[in-house]
Structure 1
Amino acid sequence: MTMAGASKLLRLHPNDNVVIAIADLLKDSEIEPGIVALARIPRGHKVAVQPIADGAPIRKFGQIIGFANGDIAPGEWVHEKNVVMKDFDRDYAFAAEAHPQEQLRPDEQPATFMGFRRPDGRVGTRNYIGILSSVNCSATVVDYIADEINRSGVLDDYPEIDGIVPLTHGTGCAMASKGEGFDVLSRTQWGYASHPNFAAVLLIGLGCEVFQIPRFKQEYGIAEGEHFQSFTIQDSGGTRKAIEAGVARIKEMLPFARGQHREIIPASELTLALQCGGSDGYSGLTANPALGAAVDMLVRQGGTAILSETPEIYGAEHLLTRRAESVEVGQKIVDLIHWWEDYAARNSGELNNNPSPGNKAGGLTTILEKSLGAVAKGGTSTLRDVYRYAERVTRKGFVYMDTPGYDPVAATGQVAGGANILCFTTGRGSAYGCKPVPSIKLATNNELYRRMPDDMDINCGDIIDGVSIEEKGREIFNVILDIASGTRSKSELLGYGRNEFVPWQIGATM
C-alpha cells in the first residue's frame, strides 16, 4: 500500500485505476495533482484516479473487481451506480505458486500453548460438556437441562469445567433419510459429538425423527461411555422425565470432565477457522491480510488453518488455484465454483447478491472486490487440500472447506471439521461467538474498535497508521496462543455461542 496525493488515500497496486479513501473526502478535495473529488466520498470507498471508459475493467489489488457502467472521470466516486459485473476469463495457473511444506524461519522459535490432550490424541482448547439435539423436537428439553444444571450451582464445585453448552438446531426430520442433506447433518453432528473441546457429550432425540440416534452411532462406530451418552424423550417417558434423566446424566459426566487437565501442547495441534463478516472497505487492507500473516506463522509451526465461504471466494478463486499443492487440489476449487453457480441459479439467486447492504455501505461494491479481500485471510501458504462441509480435516497446513458465506453456517462446518479456535475479522461490527470454540474478533478500523470495545479483541485499524502487516500478524498469533491456553475472548465473556450452531440445510424440507 502507498499513500496517494495530499489527501489520505491508499493506492493498493501500481496498476489500479482507483484509490481508497481512508478518511471522508469532501467535494473538491485534492486526490492527486490535477484531480479533485467530484463528490463527497466516504471513508473506505473508492475514487477513480484515471479515466475509465464505459465497459472497461475497474482494478483494485491489481485485480478486476468490476466494469465501468458508463464513462468514469478521474475524481469520481466508484460504487454501485457506475460499476457492473461481467464474465471474464481467469488464469487458474494450477499449482504455479505451490512450494514445499513451510518451515520455521531462523528468527522463529517453536510455539506452544496450554491445551487438553484427549484420549483419542486430539487436542482441545476448552473443556466443556455438550448437550446436542438430534432434531428440533428435542431442542427445548436440551435447553431446559442446561438451564437446570446452571441454576443448580453444581458447576461451582467443578472449576476445571468451562461450562455446559446446549446446541440445538432446526432440522433432523421432514428430510430425506439419505443423500447429500442427510450426510451433511450426520457429518456435522459427528464433528460436534467428537469435538476435542468437549470433555463429554449428551445427545438427545425425540425418538421418531428421520435422524435416528442408533443409526448415527452405528455409522460412526460410537460406543457409549463416560465421554458420550444418548437417549430419547419418548423412551424416557416424556418431557419432565427426559429433563430429569438429562440432568442426572450430566452430573454423572462431571467427574470425568474434571479429570481433564491442561498441559503444554505444540502450536502444531491448533486448527484455526478463518471467518470474516460485516466486512467493509478496510477488511482487505488491514485485518484480513494481518490474519493471513498470522496464518503463515501458524502453518510454519506445523498447524492448520481452514479458509471457507465459497460464495466469498467467487472471483478470487484463481488466487487459490495458483497456490494449490497440485492440479487436482486446484480443480476441486474450480468444481466448487461451478457447483455454486448452478446452486444459485436453481434457487433463483446470483452469487453477486453478496455483498450485503452493510458491506456496500462500508465501501465494498461487488463480490469480486469482497472475495479478493476475503482470500487475504489465508495468507500465502500452499493450499494443501479441499474438504466438503463438516468433513474432518486431516491435512496439516492451509486448507479449504466448502461452506456457504453465512457466518454461523460456515463456522459450524469448520468447527465440525475440527477447528479448535477461530478468528473473525469484521469492519461493520459483527456480534458473534462459536461455542465450544473460542472466537477472536479482529476490528478492521480504529473507529469500530473504539465504538464496540466489549466485542473486539484486536484492533487492526492501526495498520493504516503505520503498523506493519507482519507486526500485526505476530500480535494476532500471540493472542491465538493466549486464548487457546484459556484466556477468555470478548465473545466468551459476553456469553455468545449458544445460538450459533447452524448446520447447513441443503436438501428439501418436506
Structure 2
Amino acid sequence: MSHIESITTDTSVLVMAEGDDVAVALRDLLPGESLPVGDGVLTVTTLVPSGHKIALTDMSVGSTVHKYGQSIGVATAPIHRGEQVHSQNIGMDLAARTHEFGTVHTELPVPTERRFFDGFRRADGRAGTRNYIAILTTVNCSGTTAKLIADRFRGDALDRFENVDGVIALTHQSGCGLVLESEGAQVLLRTLNGYARHPNIAGVLMLSLGCEMTPTSLVLAAGTLPSDTVVESLSIQETGGMRNTVAAGVEKILALAEQINTRHREPIDISELVLGLNCGGSDGYSGITANPALGWASDVLVSHGGTSVLAETPEIYGAEHLLTARAVTPAVGHKLIERIDWWETYIHANGGTMDNNPSPGNKAGGISTILEKSLGAVAKAGHADLAAVYEYAEPIDTRGLGFMDTPGYDPVSVTGLVAGGATVVVFTTGRGSVFGCKPTPSIKVGTNTELFLRQGDDIDIDAGRIADGNASVDEVGAEILDMIIAVASGKQTVSEEFNVGQEEFVPWHIGAVT
C-alpha cells in the first residue's frame, strides 16, 4: 500500500494494516499500562515514546517486521510483545523485492466542477504562480556580487512595482573546474537553464565573472526560454569589478522591474499547476498524517489534469515496487529501477549503504530503517498511476503523477523539482523545518500537533489533527489542496513571510572538481 485511506484511532496506539507486527504509539506509553488492541489487551513492557513502534507479537531473530502491510526490517534481537521496536532490535531487510510493472491502476474520481487559480500566463503557454526577477550566476565567483545586487531590493525598494514578487540571487558552489561534457556539468547547466526558463521568473540578469567554464550562452540555451522572459547580462571582468557591477546590476534590475510589472494575474485552470512533493525531518507520524493527506491532494490535482511530482530517490528505496506496479508502461517502471540501480552503485562506491539515509532526527522521531521511512514517504504520491520518470532537473513535460530522481537532501531535491518546472511545492515535516524555495512557494505541513504548537510560525498546516482524532485524511487533504490554490494565487506561505528561499538554491553536485 502507498496511501493510508483513513485511520481509526483511540488515544493510545494505531495499527496501520492487517497483519502488522507493530503498532504506532500515539502518546508516550509507560511500562505496565494495559491497552485494548483488537480483540485483546496489550501490556506495555518498556517505555515507547510517541510516534515509535510497539510490538504486537513475539518475534525471533531474523523475523520480518511488518508495518503498513510491508516489511520495514528484520529483528536483530528477540522482540517480545509489548516492548519498543526500534534501532536496538530491528535492522535492514536485505531481501530483494519483487517488481511488477503496470499491474495496478486506480481510476481517480472525475471532478464535478473545475477549479481555478489566479496566475501569470507565459508566452510558452505555461502558467506561473509568482513573478520574480532572478539574478542567475554562471559561477560561484560571481555569487557575492549577485547577493549585493539583490540586497539593494530588500524592504520597500520594490513597493512601486506591485506585480513584481521580488529579486532573488541564485548562487551556487560550482561553474568552473569541471569538464563540460561530464554528468555533473550537464546537471548544473540543466538546473540553471531550468530556473532561467521557469514560469515563476519573468526577468533574468545573467551574472558571470567572465572566464568560467559555464558560459552564459550555454545557461540560456537559445530557444528554451519563453519569448516574454526579459534577459540582461553582465560580466564582472568586463564591467570593471564588483563595485561597478553592483551599480550596473541595480540599474538593469530596475529596468527589468518596469517591464515585468506590466504582467497581471488571470484565472487559470488548476490543471496548469505543477506540484512538487517533498518531505524533510520525517518522523513516525509522517506516513500516518501529513504524507497521506498530501497524497489525497495530489490525486485530486491529477484528476483535474494537473501534474504532481514525487522525488528523493533514496527515500523511496524499498518502496519503489509500489510505484513500478503503478507505472503506465513497463518502460516507465524500468526507468525508475534504473535510477535505483544507479543509486546503489553510487552509494556503494562512496562506502555507504542505502540504510544510511534515516537521520538521527528521523530515528529520534520513531523511524528505524530506510524501508519504514520510504513506505511513509511514498504516501505523498497518493494512488495515481505513475506517468513519467525524470532525471534530475529535467523538464517536467507529462501530465499526471511523475517521479524525479533527486537526493534526499531537501534543498538539493527541491532545487531539481523547481528546475524541472514545479510552480508550487508542498513540504511535509515531523521534526520541524524552516525550508523555503524561491521562486516557487513552499507550503509546509506538520505531521504532529506537538510540532505545530512548538514551531507554528514555520508551519502552514497542522496535519497532526489526524492522529489526534480531530480530522480525517480527506479533510486535511482538502485543506492542503485549498492552500495550494490560494498560494498559487498569491497568498504568501510562512517561509515567504520570513523571506526564506534564496539560500536554498542548491544544485546537485556530481563528479570531480579539477
User: What is the TM-score when the length of structure 1 is the normalising length?
Assistant: 0.96
Residue-by-residue CA offset, 1:219-248 (whole Å, 9 max, x unaligned): 656699861122211111111111111111
Tell me what 1:98 maps to: 105
Asked if the contact 1:7/1:30 (under 8 Å) is kept, the reply is no
Q: Which of 343, 355, 359 is equivalent to 2:358?
A: 355
CA distance in 1 between counterparts of 2:194 and 2:364 reads 36
Corresponding residue SS for 1:157: coil
Instruction: Kindly indicate whether residue 78 of structure 2 is the aligned counterpart of residue 55 of structure 1.
Output: no
CA distance in 2 between counterparts of 1:208 and 1:386 reads 36
CA distance in 2 between counterparts of 1:117 and 1:426 reads 32
Cα offset for 1:412? 0.2
Moved over 4 A (4+): 1-4, 218-226
Asked if the contact 2:441/2:487 (under 8 Å) is kept, the reply is yes
Instruction: Kindly indicate whether residue 336 of structure 2 is the aligned counterpart of residue 330 of structure 1.
Output: no
Corresponding residue SS for 1:344: helix
Tell me: CA distance 1:150–1:66, structure 2 relative to 1, closer, same or farther (3 Å): same
Residue-by-residue CA offset, 1:339-371 (whole Å, 9 max, x unaligned): 100000111111111100000000000000000
Corresponding residue SS for 1:150: coil
Identity of aligned residues (%): 48
Asked if the contact 1:7/1:29 (under 8 Å) is kept, the reply is no
Letter in 2 for 1:81: Q
Corresponding residue SS for 2:456: coil
Cα offset for 1:55? 0.1
CA distance in 1 between counterparts of 2:217 and 2:332 reads 35
Tell me what 1:500 maps to: 504
Letter in 2 for 1:204: L
Tell me: CA distance 1:409–1:490, structure 2 relative to 1, closer, same or farther (3 Å): same
Q: Which of 471, 474, 486 is equivalent to 1:482?
A: 486
Instruction: Kindly indicate whether residue 211 of structure 2 is the aligned counterpart of residue 205 of structure 1.
Output: no
Instruction: Kindly indicate whether residue 80 of structure 2 is the aligned counterpart of residue 80 of structure 1.
Output: no
Give 1:137-148 correspondences, 5 Å limit.
137-148=141-152
Tell me what 1:403 maps to: 406
Gaps spanning 5+ residues in structure 1: where? none
Cα offset for 1:111? 0.7
Gaps spanning 5+ residues in structure 2: where? 1-5
Tell me what 1:266 maps to: 269
Q: Which of 129, 134, 142 is equivalent to 2:133?
A: 129
CA distance in 1 between counterparts of 2:51 and 2:81 reads 18
Residue-by-residue CA offset, 1:186-221 (whole Å, 9 max, x unaligned): 110011011111111111010111111134345656
Residue-by-residue CA offset, 1:35-92 (whole Å, 9 max, x unaligned): 3111111000001011111101000000000000122110111000101113113221
Asked if the contact 1:132/1:201 (under 8 Å) is kept, the reply is yes
CA distance in 2 between counterparts of 1:360 and 1:170 reads 30
Tell me what 1:416 maps to: 419
Instruction: Kindly indicate whether residue 323 of structure 2 is the aligned counterpart of residue 320 of structure 1.
Output: yes
User: What is the TM-score when the length of structure 2 is the normalising length?
Assistant: 0.95
Asked if the contact 2:432/2:455 (under 8 Å) is kept, the reply is yes
C-alpha RMSD over aligned residues: 1.7
Asked if the contact 2:294/2:382 (under 8 Å) is kept, the reply is yes
Cα offset for 1:150? 3.1
Corresponding residue SS for 2:458: coil
Corresponding residue SS for 2:51: coil
Give 1:283-302 correspondences, 5 Å limit.
283-302=286-305
Asked if the contact 2:131/2:164 (under 8 Å) is kept, the reply is yes
Asked if the contact 1:99/1:325 (under 8 Å) is kept, the reply is no
CA distance in 1 between counterparts of 2:428 and 2:472 reads 17
Tell me: CA distance 1:457–1:54, structure 2 relative to 1, closer, same or farther (3 Å): same
Asked if the contact 1:226/1:253 (under 8 Å) is kept, the reply is no
Q: Which of 18, 34, 46 is equivalent to 1:14?
A: 18
Instruction: Kindly indicate whether residue 393 of structure 2 is the aligned counterpart of residue 387 of structure 1.
Output: no
Instruction: Kindly indicate whether residue 319 of structure 2 is the aligned counterpart of residue 306 of structure 1.
Output: no
